[in-house]
Amino acid sequence: MCGRYTLTLDDRLLRELFGISPEAAGDFEYSPNYNICPGSQVPVIYSENGAGASMRLMRWGLIPKWAKAPSIGYKMINARAETVHQKPAYKVPFARQRCLVPADGFYEWQKDNGGKIPYRITLPGEAPFTFAGLWDKWISPEGERILSFSIVTVEASEGVREIHNRMPVILADNSSRDTWLDMGTPVSELKGLLTSYTGELVSYRVSTLVNSPRNNFPQLIERIP
């Protein structure tokens, strides 16, 4: 599972890092976020109707086209890789509406004596990366248009498994990102991307202040000995 993550870059650095032109980045401003929670509006890289990659703000928690109300999105923040091609809410987005979710870390909680200890997990040097995601567009009866997304998860890799048994799919290089966004990629190749990350990951304990979605400041990502 992935229930919280971080993205501590501003919108200008995001565009530069992922090669998104100002014209393709949409009209939005984004500030560093140290505690991204379900329902948050965050930058997502996607392609619509065969066009080139664009970056837009989307709501975390996928709202299927057929949903009666947007509240269903809070139950759909993650899509399991094992069944993503079968579930009614995800099979169409998996086929034609895949996206990249920029991040530079994510949180998981380790059970300990009846409590839970929060950890932040990053690439070495806290290098930015992307999660594999799925997006959809929901239009309310009044005409409100909401773009939303889910993060695809898999069984945790060895280093993360000690903290939690699931983790998000990490796409850390341009080749895997291009393959995921290419709507012509065969299903077998897509499934090959949906695996536990095999590269080096760094995990460290952080303050329980991250438990509250109301808290969002740099101290949340500081290491606790």
Active site residues: 2, 108
User: Residue 212 is encoded by which pair of tokens?
Assistant: 């509250």
Q: Which residues pair with 108 in a beta bridge?
A: 119
Q: Are 38 and 74 in contact (CB under 8 A)?
A: yes
Q: Under a CB-based contact definition with an 8 Å cutoff, are residues 60 and 103 in contact?
A: no
**Cβ neighbours for 162, distance < 8 A, ≥ 6 positions apart:** 110
d(CA 219, CA 175): 34
CB-based contact 64:89 (threshold 8 Å): yes
Structural tokens at position 5? 């993550």
